[in-house]
Each structure stands twice: as structure tokens, then as C-alpha cells.
Amino acid sequence: MSQELLIATRNKGKVREIKELLKGFDLKITSLDDYPDMPVIEEDGKTFTANAVKKAVTIALYTKKLTLGEDSGLEVKALQNQPGVYSARFAGEGATDHKNNAKLLRSLRGIPLKKRQARYRCFAALADGSKLIDVVQGSCSGLIALRPKGKNGFGYDPLFFIPCYDQTFGELDPDIKAQISHRAHALRKIKKSLLKYL
């Protein structure tokens, strides 16, 4: 019987990426979509770490299952590291990726590409019913493109430009993204924690 790992999110893009990054583990990976009656977690932390831990611990205590809480977002240097923890709701509560991307482009209007440094950051927390097991982080640096390109990924991916590949995450082959992304870096560390735990 495979051990279950519950990912404390309803974001289908995140679930898809995490499943892909953890393939090879004998884990049954589920998400909040598989458990409709879960408590709603308000992401009111001032840091990615606080939100990731809150998701993992809340759901692990509630379900007594091994739970992965993850919080990630985009920090843009020219915007004093905004949108940061507000990445998903940069253009307001319930904003679409399209609206968030449009607001980001408006905020950076007139700023040349080389001054649009940004990094994606991912914080992941692993908890079971009794304790917090580990908290890790990963990041990936790039630039914010002048206009969206590509249909892959989600969130700010069509604007997140990787100079060495001359492509955005939206254009980049998903296999390459799965090696270099912020989430890939964080989940490599989570894999080690999982190996110890399992």
C-alpha cells in the first residue's frame, strides 16, 4: 500500500508539477481537490515560509496524513521584491493569471529588459499529524519579458525570461523547466526529507 502524500493546494498547475517532480517515489499523491470538506486556509502569512508551514501543519493535523504545503511567488527587484507573497492576488483577490501578468507589465512600463531582474521563489513544508518534518526553499533567477510569450506553465511563466535559454518559462520545454525551476530546486530537498521519513 503506497504512502499517501497530500499536497495542500487546489492549484492544478502546482499539483501537476509536484507529481512530475516526485515521480519515482512510491507515493499516492493527492490534493485538496480530492478532499472537498477541508478547512479553507487563509494565506495571511507575511512570508512564503509562514504560508507554506501553515498549509502543511493545518491540513496534516486535520487529516493525520503526510502533507506538503507549498508557497511560491515572484519577486521583482525594480518593484522592491513585489508581488512576493501576494503573487497570486497581485491584481486583487481572485485575480486571473492574465490580470496579474497585465498588472506586472503596467508596473514595469518604461523599464528596460536588463533592469527587470526577478526571481521565482518556492518554499515547501512537510508535516504529518504530529509534527513539522522539514521546511526547504528553492529559487530561480530571470528577467521579466517585455510581453508574454508561450503557452506552457501557469502564473507568471509567460513573462519569466531565462536569458541562457533565450526563452520564457511559457516557451521553455517543460522537461528543462523541471530541472531548473524554483519548485524543482525546493522539491529536490523535499525528496531527501521524504527518503528519511519514509
Question: Which is catalytic among the residues 34, 37, 71, 128?
Answer: 71
**Can you read off the three cell numbers belonging to residue 87?**
503573487
| Alpha carbon distance 96, 88 (integer Å) | 8
Cβ atoms of 133 and 177 within 8 Å: the answer is: no
Residues near 2 by Cβ (< 8 Å), separated by ≥ 6? 26, 27, 28
Cβ atoms of 175 and 192 within 8 Å: the answer is: no
Amino acid symbol at 175: D
Question: Is 71 designated active site?
Answer: yes
What sign results for the dihedral spanned by CA atoms 45, 40, 19, 189? positive
The residues assigned a catalytic role are 71
